Amino acid sequence: MKKTHQFQVRVYYEDTDAGGIVYYANYLKFMERARTEWLRELGHEQDKMLEQSVAFVVKRVEMHNHAPARFNQLLSIESQIVELKGASLTFRQEIKDPQGHKLVTADVKIACVDPVVMKPRKLPATLLGDLSSGI
């Protein structure tokens, strides 16, 4: 399994603000799409996981905004897992513009929870296995 995941996101009007650049909260959307697609490529569909009482919540975000993304750019997101525990994991994600300039870097810590009671729970063994072989 590959150790990093690549994903691309197009910047639409919906993502920008009156400053002419991507609104800062929207980078968090882009990075979640990338994480979701990585899980999907590993065979883990989150709607199916929800039915098994497995959900994810973000516990911590540390985001550095180096330069702004702009309308209509095709952005690249590179993701890797930098910490993997029994009930949480941390992604390091980097967003680049079409010229390869680094725009945003972030560490995002995700906890696995039971969505009904919103309590922490262990990552499913199969997911843990698939992800740990990716570090």
Contact 59, 71 (CB under 8 A): no
Residues 6+ apart with CB under 8 A from 71: 11, 12, 13, 15, 16, 20
Shortest Å distance, C-beta 5 to its own copies = 15
Measured between alpha carbons, how far is 9 from 113 in angstroms, rounded to an integer?
28
Subset of residues 54 to 83 that bind its own copies, contact rule: CB under 8 A:
55, 57-65, 68, 70-72
Q: Would residue 107 show up in a list of annotated catalytic residues for this protein?
A: no
Region near its own copies per CB under 8 A, out of 18-26, 81-89, 90-98, 125-133: 18-26
Closer Cβ to its own copies, 20 or 100, answer by number: 20
Task: Identify the residue among 1, 8, 41, 50 touching its own copies (CB under 8 A).
Answer: 50
Contact flag: residue 10 with its own copies (CB under 8 A) = yes
